[in-house]
Amino acid sequence: MNREQISRIAHVEHPIKSPLDDDSVHRLLQRGLPRGDERVLDLGCGGGEWLLRALATRPHLHAEGVDVSADALAQAAAAALDRGVQDRLVLHHQKAEDFVSAEPFDVVLSFGATHAFEGLLPTLAAARKHLAPGGRVLVGEGFWDRPPSPEAVEMLGNFTDLATTVDRVVADGWTPVDGHVSTRRELDDYEWACWGSLASWALDHPADVDSAHALETATTRRSEWLRGYRDTWGFVSLVLRPTPGRA
Ligand SMILES: C[S@@+](CC[C@H](N)C(=O)[O-])C[C@H]1O[C@@H](n2cnc3c(N)ncnc32)[C@H](O)[C@@H]1O
């Protein structure tokens, strides 16, 4: 069982692959897409859940998603067909950092994918290149809520605290016009959903050749979360507009 198969099963109950509940996603989309007829780009779109939700509730919206995972994009395409939004969604199978478009976008999203650009600021720099005048960026990023252990840094990467994270974004020429800090409940629900879904799959498929590996992975990842980063890691979502004069 490869990473993509594990990710697909782990996210069955939580198709948004970030620690955000449905109300938070809805509210962030409302703040990011005030008109409803925007052109939206998602860098690292995965199964496309952000775009699918935006398209399903806004009949004049057009969206494009970029991801390196063929498996996730196939899932996005199938879900678009199911929800009747396939005519307004274009999916690109390529590295987000290599994506170019002839036309700019009103909104650029990137959630849980800043590692693809090696950090938040390079992700914002990439988003800026795609942004039309007056556009917005919606980005989700981890931060350290308390000083992390070296093991937590090793597992999740090198973040800063929340205030420093926002300061760096502002210093980089962005103005936050809204934001959301994932609650303890959202953070916990996400982890329980991921490792619970994977464990359930293993228990439901005892004869599958991958069953033992799936159960072991669920156990390891749940323990890494509880012992390694539950008390130190947080997740912030920002709605950003370029600060005038700072392009
Ligand atoms: C945690 S998932 C987030 C998916 C989606 N944004 C969401 O919130 O549901 C991270 C995604 O980034 C994608 N990814 C990783 N590196 C990438 C790259 N260099 N270019 C494009 N996508 C990348 C992965 O394939 C994965 O689908």
The share of the chain scoring above pLDDT 90, in percent, equals 96
Q: What is the pLDDT of residue 225?
A: 97
Q: What is the pLDDT of residue 245?
A: 84
Across-strand partners of 241?
Answer: 175
Q: For residues 196 and 14, is the Cβ–Cβ distance under 8 A?
A: no
Centre of ligand 1 from the C-alpha of residue 124, in Å: 15
Q: How far apart are CA 65 and CA 41, in angstroms?
A: 6
Q: Which domains are seen in the chain, by residue range? A: 15-182+233-241 (3.40.50.150)
Sheet strands (E) in the chain: 39-43, 62-67, 89-93, 105-111, 131-144, 174-181, 233-242
Closest among 56, 52, 59, 53 to 35, alpha carbons compared: 59
Q: What is the pLDDT of residue 247?
A: 62
Q: What does the pLDDT look like over 111-161, one tens digit per residue? A: 999 989 999 999 999 999 999 999 999 999 999 999 999 999 999 998 999
Ligand 1 pocket test: which of 2, 8, 17 has the largest number of ligand atoms within 8 Å of its C-beta?
A: 17
- Number of Cβ within 10 Å of residue 81's Cβ equals 11
Longest dimension (CA), the chain: 62
Q: For residues 110 and 140, is the Cβ–Cβ distance under 8 A?
A: yes
Pocket lining: 116 vs ligand 1, CB cutoff 6 Å: yes
Q: What is the pLDDT of residue 1?
A: 85
Pocket lining: 52 vs ligand 1, CB cutoff 6 Å: no
Pocket lining: 195 vs ligand 1, CB cutoff 6 Å: no
Q: For residues 121 and 55, is the Cβ–Cβ distance under 8 A?
A: no
Residue 69 has pLDDT above 70, yes or no: yes
